[in-house]
Structure 1
Amino acid sequence: MTFPRTLADLSTAELGSGYQAGDFSPGEVLDAVAERIAACEPTINALWHEDLAAARSRAEESGARWRSGQPRGALDGVPVTIKENIARKGVAMPSGHAAGDPQPADHDAPITERLEEAGAIIVGSTVMPDWGMLSSGVSSRHGITRSPLDPALTTGGSSSGAGAAAAAGYGPIHIGSDIGGSIRLPGTWLGLATLKPSFGRIPLDAPYLGRCAGPLARTVDDLRAAMTVIGRPDARDYSQLPPYSGDYRVPDFSVSGLRVAVHTEAGCGMPTDPEVAAAVDAAAQRFADAGAQVTRIAPFMSEELLVDVDRFWRVRSWVDYHGLDIEDQRRILPYVARWCTAGADVPGAELLRCYQSIQTMRQATVAATEPFDLVLSPVAPVAAFPAEWPMPFNDPDQPMGHISFTVPYNMSEQPAASVNAGYTADGRTVGLQLAGRRFDDAGVLAAAEWFERSAEIAAPERTVG
């Protein structure tokens, strides 16, 4: 089922052109987004906090700037959303769970500040699962977030609301966060373009090992537009990279001569569905046909590395869970409570060994990928699963066997993008992950955009909205 394209579905570039020409105003675009939210939200449940009243005031201000010929930049008047764990002054940050009475944040995160300075219109904060420790849209506070492509299916997570908002058309740009795949997993299961940037490229006010923030969108060009605004340094992030002065473009980019690696088995975790592997292999062949030097590489992850990072996170979440009173512990999603309780009795020496194992993962990832400009792989080994499932394997006693392709690049701090690479026989989307060397966010975006344009894979159709 196909729905009419409205102003809510326009890209950042299309919005800017329309504003400049006077074809429509930021207020009219916001009205279209509000209509889309009203139509979709009862089903997909993407938003934690809606800001349409304040957004209308900002849209009027943006419209005045465009009429006077003085816009603040490409994002002026562009509707965006921000994941609930990214601070916005006056908006509570419950981290997806039902425990406690979360109070409004007393500050804006760097990302929030940069977007508002650029004139972007923040229409709301998007939901996430409990503590962000699920790869789905299942939350003890928010309930179930569903795919706009098929409400029976997952959005992926933990940037579940961001992914749903992007796929539904709540504007062109949506900001999520990712510590093991939480931006790219919604990308593969919703047919989106996404970027987990180099660690430290987008400043956070609460940095943590492997954690990045990044954009989710329907096109790579919208990812780039977001990065030019939020990919700026801020002293509050003590892990920040040196300033980047470019526009995240690679002049005269060519695939010909690129050294490209490809692998469709991670070496651990869930086995790769043959349909997923076939989509990645077809993408690799497209690069080869365009002149890239494509090499198939062996897996560089191991089951031990996957188990160790999973155990490390269980201990971290156990600390949060243990700090709650008994009534609040009962409010945590049972799946997450069961998962993190396995971290309760991990001795300090074992926790340190797990941390050292993460460094081994980093070392192995860099060593395996260093000879190449780009590494192609699945984002996840399987296609989208039922929306009600917290994880694709639905068993809290198992390690996270679906992040074997994504988590290495969080720990190695390398950029990794995703784009839609095709569909399974039953119509579910399959994402291609494109990882590059650390700091080469522009190169990764260029390669992702080249594939997006050359492959011309039809955009997924919404069944909601």
Structure 2
Amino acid sequence: MADALHELSAPRLVELYRRREVSPVEVARSVLGHVERWEHHIHALYLLRPDHVLEQARASEERWRQGEPLGLIDGVPVTIKDNIATRGDPTPLGSAASELVPAAADAPPAARVREHGGVLLAKTTMPDYGMLSSGLSSFHPLARNPWNLAKTPGGSSAGAGAAAAAGYGPLHIGTDIGGSLRLPAGWCGIFTLKPSLGRVPIDPPYTGRAAGPMTRTVEDAALFMQVLAGADERDAMSLPPQDIAWSGFDIGVSRLRGLRIGLLMEAGCGLAVDAGIRDAVQKAALLFERAGAVVAPMKPFMTQAMLDGMDHFWRMRSHVDLRGLPPQEKARVLPYIQQWADSAGGLGGEAMFRAAHQFHLTRVAAVQACRPFDYVLSPVSPVPAFAAELPSPTNDPLRPLEHIGFTVPFNMSEQPAASINCGYTDEGLPIGLQIVGKRFDDLGVLQVARAFELIREPQRPWPQPPSEAIHHVD
């Protein structure tokens, strides 16, 4: 049976538009119908406006009819995370305490999507201020994982991960400051690339903060990077323009031959690695070896002091932000976030200096540890997706980041890092493999991920909406 239109990749849709075999309006209707079947189960979307979606699709249809598409993704459905501003829309940042003021302008990723003719399906849900690795929010309904509705999709790009796994079209944008692209990608079984810092400009910029594609395939991410990458003066950390041959993402399994691969199986801090995750990542490393790579174990380089320092710094940042809210507004923030932020109230200047210094120490340690290798493999998370209602795996605001020891160092070192599915737990939950490259080698990470995509075990079918029970009234 042919794939439904909402299941098709972005390159395939563009090809069909070019041949005039399919219309952007047909695709938009297919996606909207699929969303209608899924959305009340997973709560991935914010600001879903079907009439607006169809209006964009009709404009794209006319451009294709005239042979004048705007760009690389004209007519392709796209979702954009809540915290990436879109002109005229409020940006609640997942929190009921936020003032719902329409954004004056598109943030850089949203601007690039519009410039290339993408059809904005909706924004996607996230937890309060992006400070959780779950879909728990005081503003949005609770986001759930399409693979198992009792589980979290991860976060903070919760809705984006769920939308990609559920098949809400091919292209989704999330953000990541400590794992917020890779964690939901790993737990939802999709692909993502956290680019080198500045490769995809973002506004407002922040140390370690990156935006990136969340897709089902490496091919979709490679196309999307052509759209999203490029300098933007609003991001003081954006990289200079660089002509990257993103179309060269697929050079086959031969890309792995002779590569020096580091295998990092212990983060050095936080939670212990689940046995099933350990097995899946080690099996993935064996496939790399069979393809001709040289895989060597890496010693942990993160420390609990590094993780705690970053945690304490972010607590203080949130403490200052929440302290500036009127009491009635602060009370609307998730209690977990309030407790976490309030715990920084007693930290003094010296403690904050020592906490902030851990960002630098983490950066230096990550770069030093990766230096002998072309690429590094590791778990994305030490644990599988946890209960949807929990804010974090520990459910402890004083131990909130124990699961990000594999992901956060590569935000601080500014290195590109991908998540790609490498297996499933006994419960059938996806397991993410992290692939890390040297700074600026975003294309190389895509190529290595594509090679693994070709050699990994066959993937399970994507989850489908639960069958609706039919109730008879006698």
Identify the TM-score tier after normalising by the shorter chain: over 0.9
1:215 corresponds in structure 2 to 213
1:266 corresponds in structure 2 to 267
1:247 corresponds in structure 2 to 245
1:148 corresponds in structure 2 to 146
Q: Is 1:196 matched with 2:194? A: yes
Q: CA separation of 1:463/1:170 partners in 2, compared to 1, >3 Å: closer, same or farther?
A: closer
Kept after mapping to 2: 8 A contact 1:187/1:418: yes
Partners of 1:460 and 1:372 in 2: how far apart? 34
Partners of 2:346 and 2:7 in 1: how far apart? 49
Partners of 2:354 and 2:389 in 1: how far apart? 34
1:442 corresponds in structure 2 to 443
Kept after mapping to 1: 8 A contact 2:165/2:462: no
Q: CA separation of 1:386/1:350 partners in 2, compared to 1, >3 Å: closer, same or farther?
A: same
Matches within 5 A, 1:308-319: 308-319=309-320
Q: Is 1:295 matched with 2:296? A: yes
Q: Secondary structure at the match of 1:462?
A: coil
Deviation at 1:284, TM superposition (A): 0.7
Deviation at 1:72, TM superposition (A): 2.9
Q: Is 1:349 matched with 2:350? A: yes
Q: CA separation of 1:446/1:277 partners in 2, compared to 1, >3 Å: closer, same or farther?
A: same
Partners of 2:136 and 2:361 in 1: how far apart? 32
1:280 corresponds in structure 2 to 281
The two structures have a TM-score, normalised by structure 2, of 0.95
Kept after mapping to 1: 8 A contact 2:157/2:184: yes
| Residue 114 of structure 2, aligned match among 113, 116, 122 | 116
Partners of 1:93 and 1:23 in 2: how far apart? 37
Q: Larger deviation: 250-259 or 223-232?
A: 250-259
| Residue 24 of structure 1, aligned match among 22, 25, 37 | 22
The two structures have a TM-score, normalised by structure 1, of 0.97
Kept after mapping to 1: 8 A contact 2:250/2:447: no
Partners of 1:373 and 1:127 in 2: how far apart? 35
Q: CA separation of 1:380/1:407 partners in 2, compared to 1, >3 Å: closer, same or farther?
A: same
Task: Report the residue type matching 2:140 in the other structure.
Answer: H
Q: Deviations over 1:102-146 (max 9, x none)?
A: 211111111111110101101111111001000000001113101
Q: Deviations over 1:351-374 (max 9, x none)?
A: 121111110000000000011110
Partners of 1:216 and 1:318 in 2: how far apart? 30
Q: CA separation of 1:137/1:250 partners in 2, compared to 1, >3 Å: closer, same or farther?
A: closer
Deviation at 1:51, TM superposition (A): 3.3
1:96 corresponds in structure 2 to 94
Q: CA separation of 1:313/1:140 partners in 2, compared to 1, >3 Å: closer, same or farther?
A: same
Kept after mapping to 1: 8 A contact 2:250/2:450: no
2:55 corresponds in structure 1 to 57
Matches within 5 A, 1:216-231: 216-231=214-229
1:330 corresponds in structure 2 to 331
Deviation at 1:22, TM superposition (A): 2.0
Partners of 1:399 and 1:429 in 2: how far apart? 22
Task: Report the residue type matching 1:326 in the other structure.
Answer: P
Partners of 2:202 and 2:186 in 1: how far apart? 25
| Residue 175 of structure 1, aligned match among 165, 173, 190 | 173
Q: Is 1:15 matched with 2:16? A: no
Partners of 1:265 and 1:31 in 2: how far apart? 46
Q: CA separation of 1:184/1:78 partners in 2, compared to 1, >3 Å: closer, same or farther?
A: same
RMSD (CA atoms): 1.5
Q: Deviations over 1:209-244 (max 9, x none)?
A: 110011101001111111100111111111111112
Any stretches of 5+ residues in structure 2 without a counterpart? 467-474
Q: Secondary structure at the match of 2:47?
A: strand
2:308 corresponds in structure 1 to 307
Partners of 1:192 and 1:18 in 2: how far apart? 24
Partners of 2:461 and 2:328 in 1: how far apart? 42
1:384 corresponds in structure 2 to 385
Partners of 2:2 and 2:384 in 1: how far apart? 27
Q: Secondary structure at the match of 1:331?
A: coil
Partners of 2:464 and 2:387 in 1: how far apart? 16
Kept after mapping to 2: 8 A contact 1:148/1:167: yes
Partners of 1:250 and 1:185 in 2: how far apart? 23
Deviation at 1:460, TM superposition (A): 4.7
Partners of 1:110 and 1:362 in 2: how far apart? 26
Partners of 2:242 and 2:48 in 1: how far apart? 32
Deviation at 1:5, TM superposition (A): 4.3
Partners of 2:465 and 2:387 in 1: how far apart? 16
Q: Larger deviation: 434-443 or 141-150?
A: 141-150
Kept after mapping to 2: 8 A contact 1:191/1:460: no
Partners of 1:112 and 1:182 in 2: how far apart? 18
Task: Report the residue type matching 1:341 in the other structure.
Answer: D
| Residue 82 of structure 1, aligned match among 77, 80, 83 | 80
Kept after mapping to 2: 8 A contact 1:136/1:158: yes
Q: Secondary structure at the match of 1:224?
A: helix
Deviation at 1:65, TM superposition (A): 2.2
Partners of 2:143 and 2:47 in 1: how far apart? 14
Q: CA separation of 1:147/1:114 partners in 2, compared to 1, >3 Å: closer, same or farther?
A: same
Deviation at 1:21, TM superposition (A): 2.1
Task: Report the residue type matching 2:353 in the other structure.
Answer: L
Q: Secondary structure at the match of 1:137?
A: coil
Partners of 2:241 and 2:130 in 1: how far apart? 29
| Residue 39 of structure 1, aligned match among 33, 37, 40 | 37
Q: Is 1:257 matched with 2:258? A: yes
Q: Number of paired residues? A: 463
